[in-house]
A and B are shown apart, each in its own frame.
Chain A
Amino acid sequence: MKSVRVVVVGAGVIGFSTAVCIAEALPFCSVTLLAEKFSPDTTSDGAAGILFAAQFPDIPLDKQRNWFKDSFDHLLAIAQSEHSPNAGVMLSSGWQIFKEVPANKKPFWSEFVIGFRSMTERELKRFPEHKFGQAFTTIKCECSSYLPWLEKRFRKAGGLVEQRKVNNIQELSNKYDIIVNCSGLGSKTLVGDTEVYPVRGQVLKVEAPWLQHFIRDGDGKTYIYPGIHCVTIGGTRQEDDWRLQVDEGDTKSILERCSRLEPSVGKAKVLSEWVGLRPSRRNPRVERELVQLQGRRVPVVHNYGHGGWGVTLAWGTALDALGLVRQCLHEMNLHAKL
């Protein structure tokens, strides 16, 4: 039987998650992953990787719930297994605190994380500027370990990896039957999506091994995420800002804001700084289309635009994308029979 040639563009958490889903579920497909940048140079690598969701305006809530649940359950199984340290996936407990009581005290993802509850009075006492908070246990998925781990899984399932910058989707039309686009911010040029825009984020990695809990301000701009080897503190949310250089003003602001939440952070040694551009969009684009490429109609499955929620939604959207690939295959089969 002739093998169906699938290409996945992008080697960030979305690309590799999608590639693994397809390679493991569809052994009769030959899956190749193409990307210009690989770990540790992807946007995913610098992200703290704490599982946490926002609500997108135009995607049915049920679908968003499934995305989150599927991702969480998948990573929870890894965190609970012996693979935890190699995959860079661990459990993390902590608090999300709000200066003003939020309208929605129980967000849609609250039933999917572990032990979600409101903080007690005594717990809030540690944060005098904040009036309300939520305590729960979630997952931290460190892509600098997780991506190489996924790559191993991908290759084991027969996947091929190639380092190459794809400038135009036209380049792929001859060699592949199905194109899966996980190029994040790159979709702006690769498929001409004007709705994709960067939201610049700067973080510091500090040495503070006494910190065991995450602390996040509900506004999403100030957070402390203890990881396996260091603590990621941040951040910034600068829309349409393409700068990849570290901004000293941001560094100062991050240290100041985080120290207000957790004074001991001020005493931590700064190990490194990093800037990433969240591939943002009003809603993530997880859908398929047929594209006219060099005289052929080639099915393209899109899976990009996850903004700051890539790690959080990677597996769930990858499964969704796999479903779309199956639909493409189904149509190709029908077509072949005609």
Chain B
Amino acid sequence: MRVAVIGAGVIGLSTAQSIYEQYHSIVSPLTIEVYADRFTPLTTSDGAAGFWQPYLYDKGNIQETKWNKETFDYLLSCLSSPESIKMGVFLQSGYNLCTEPVPDPSFKDIVLGFRQLTERELQMFPGYNYGWFNTALMVEGKTYLPWLMDWLQKRGVKFYHRKIDSFKELAETGADVIINCTGIRSGELQSDPELKPGRGQIVKVDAPWLKHWILTHNFTTGVYNSPYIIPGSRLVTVGGVFQLGNWSEQSNSTDHKKIWENACQLEPSLKHARIVEDWAGLRPVRSKVRLERETIPSGATAIEVIHNYGHGGFGLTIHRGCAQEAARLFGQIVEQKGKGPKARL
């Protein structure tokens, strides 16, 4: 079988990985190809801080909470392997700050050591009077994506630097299944009014004395529109912008000023941090993740597509759970086409 994955961000690469892991010994031959016009370090996944944390509340979307948990547990298990450094995965603790008491977040039992903030901790953050401390994971895109590509390349997955203009285009070259991991630009392949850009801008700074992430939450301005400071393995990501509907991938000075002023108020020592660069990216925002099969009629035949896009600002957080689910959907197609082990009878 030939599988064509469109998109080489964390979703595309991890989905290719899951399909390989689960089916390379079941389907023979299994050819996996990845098509994209942007590869690491130029994808949305590369610019993100790489901090594992879902939005505070899943709004009843328990499926997504399950995928988030699966991703966390998977990454946590990777820590004990010598590969963890090459994967860009490590533990980091920190603070979620609110201005009023709120219900516990959906991830409280997924992360490690979740607890309420003590009085003394709240005193460290004037203006905030409620919050939590826990240990979570970092998965840095700029390291994780090259690791994934290397993992895939070693197993015979081929990469093509090419923009795909339609599913039909790939179906015509002989792809049996197309995996659509095109993130924010999925609309170019198939119109989706639910998919919108959630523009974010960040400042990367050199501040190695910071070892905790600090996320603030403002329920009026909404998710990610409130300052956050997320140290990484080399640089610290400073942000707090979420502009729904803004397609600009250029960073601008107005946002920079707002981000910087707010962050310095939150963490005064940033005053001495060396600013390295600004970056802007478009979170592929959707009411919920689109992770489903679609059989598109095409003349006498049909094109099998598995959609896996719309992960908003939690792509890295949810990637593994979604990739495993996409592989499960792929398994259904394998069964239907009679390409599974039963076909050997």
Chain B residues numbered 85-104 whose CB sits less than 8 Å from any CB in chain A: 85, 88, 90-93
Of the candidates A115, A119, A120, the one whose C-beta lies within 8 Å of that of B133 is: A115
Determine if A84 and B209 form an interchain contact, defined as CB atoms under 8 angstroms apart: yes
List of A residues within 8 angstroms of B135 by Cβ:
93, 123, 213
Q: Is B174 an interface residue (CB 8 A)?
A: no
Chain B residues numbered 108-123 whose CB sits less than 8 Å from any CB in chain A: 112-113, 115, 117-118, 120-121
Of all chain A residues, the one with the shortest Cβ separation from B116 is A115
Determine if A92 and B211 form an interchain contact, defined as CB atoms under 8 angstroms apart: yes
List of A residues within 8 angstroms of B166 by Cβ:
none
Q: Complex Cα distance A80/B208, Å?
A: 15
Determine if A120 and B112 form an interchain contact, defined as CB atoms under 8 angstroms apart: yes
The verdict on A228 contacting B208 (CB below 8 Å), with A82-B272, A123-B113 known, is yes
Determine if A84 and B82 form an interchain contact, defined as CB atoms under 8 angstroms apart: no
Of the candidates B82, B88, B115, the one whose C-beta lies within 8 Å of that of A115 is: B115
List of A residues within 8 angstroms of B93 by Cβ:
93, 212-213
Determine if B118 and A209 form an interchain contact, defined as CB atoms under 8 angstroms apart: no
Q: Is B22 an interface residue (CB 8 A)?
A: no
Of all chain B residues, the one with the shortest Cβ separation from A211 is B90
Q: Complex Cα distance A229/B207, Å?
A: 10
A328 vs chain B, min Cβ distance (A): 36
Q: Complex Cα distance A70/B234, Å?
A: 33
Q: Complex Cα distance A264/B93, Å?
A: 18
Of the candidates A93, A115, A228, A264, the one whose C-beta lies within 8 Å of that of B85 is: A264
List of A residues within 8 angstroms of B208 by Cβ:
209, 228-229
Of the candidates A82, A209, A267, the one whose C-beta lies within 8 Å of that of B271 is: A82
Q: Is B233 an interface residue (CB 8 A)?
A: yes
Q: Is B84 an interface residue (CB 8 A)?
A: yes
Q: Complex Cα distance A320/B84, Å?
A: 47
The verdict on A228 contacting B209 (CB below 8 Å), with A86-B272, A115-B118, A122-B112 known, is yes
Q: Complex Cα distance A264/B89, Å?
A: 11
Of the candidates B85, B113, B121, B269, the one whose C-beta lies within 8 Å of that of A210 is: B85
A265 vs chain B, min Cβ distance (A): 10
Of the candidates B88, B207, B211, the one whose C-beta lies within 8 Å of that of A85 is: B207
List of B residues within 8 angstroms of A2 by Cβ:
none
Majority DSSP secondary structure for residues of A touching B: mixed
Q: Is B56 an interface residue (CB 8 A)?
A: no
B5 vs chain A, min Cβ distance (A): 29
Determine if A212 and B85 form an interchain contact, defined as CB atoms under 8 angstroms apart: no
Q: Complex Cα distance A88/B272, Å?
A: 12
List of B residues within 8 angstroms of A155 by Cβ:
none
List of A residues within 8 angstroms of B273 by Cβ:
85
B95 vs chain A, min Cβ distance (A): 10
Determine if B82 and A263 form an interchain contact, defined as CB atoms under 8 angstroms apart: yes
Chain A residues numbered 209-235 whose CB sits less than 8 Å from any CB in chain B: 209-213, 226, 228-229
Q: Complex Cα distance A272/B61, Å?
A: 51
Q: Is B227 an interface residue (CB 8 A)?
A: no
Of all chain B residues, the one with the shortest Cβ separation from A262 is B79
Determine if B212 and A263 form an interchain contact, defined as CB atoms under 8 angstroms apart: no
List of B residues within 8 angstroms of A209 by Cβ:
208, 233-234
Q: Among A81, A210, A226, which residue has the most Cβ atoms of chain B within 10 A?
A: A210
Chain A residues numbered 67-118 whose CB sits less than 8 Å from any CB in chain B: 80-86, 88, 90-93, 114-115, 117
List of B residues within 8 angstroms of A212 by Cβ:
90-93, 211-212, 231
Of all chain B residues, the one with the shortest Cβ separation from A112 is B120
List of B residues within 8 angstroms of A81 by Cβ:
268-269
Q: Complex Cα distance A81/B273, Å?
A: 13
Q: Complex Cα distance A263/B88, Å?
A: 15
List of B residues within 8 angstroms of A90 by Cβ:
209-211
List of B residues within 8 angstroms of A92 by Cβ:
211
Q: Is B173 an interface residue (CB 8 A)?
A: no
Q: Complex Cα distance A117/B113, Å?
A: 9
Q: Is A126 an interface residue (CB 8 A)?
A: yes
Q: Complex Cα distance A120/B108, Å?
A: 13
List of B residues within 8 angstroms of A84 by Cβ:
209, 268-269
Of all chain B residues, the one with the shortest Cβ separation from A268 is B85
Interface string of A13-43 (1 = CB under 8 A from B): 0000000000000000000000000000000
Q: Complex Cα distance A233/B93, Å?
A: 20
Determine if A82 and B268 form an interchain contact, defined as CB atoms under 8 angstroms apart: yes
Q: Is B276 an interface residue (CB 8 A)?
A: no
Q: Is A204 an interface residue (CB 8 A)?
A: no
Q: Is A135 an interface residue (CB 8 A)?
A: yes
Determine if B115 and A117 form an interchain contact, defined as CB atoms under 8 angstroms apart: yes
List of A residues within 8 angstroms of B117 by Cβ:
115
Q: Identify the A interface with B (CB < 8 A).
A: 80-86, 88, 90-93, 114-115, 117, 119-120, 122-123, 126, 135, 137, 209-213, 226, 228-229, 263-264, 266-267
Q: 11 other contacts beyond A82-B271, A263-B80, A264-B82, with CB at 8 A cut-off?
A: A80-B268, A82-B272, A85-B273, A90-B211, A117-B113, A117-B115, A126-B80, A210-B85, A210-B88, A212-B211, A263-B84
Closest 6 CB pairs of A and B: A84-B269, A210-B90, A90-B209, A82-B268, A209-B233, A212-B92
- Can you show 24 pairs from A to B with CB atoms below 8 A apart? A80-B268, A84-B209, A85-B207, A85-B209, A85-B269, A88-B209, A91-B212, A93-B212, A115-B118, A115-B133, A120-B113, A122-B112, A126-B80, A135-B113, A137-B121, A209-B208, A211-B90, A212-B93, A212-B231, A213-B92, A213-B135, A228-B208, A264-B82, A267-B82
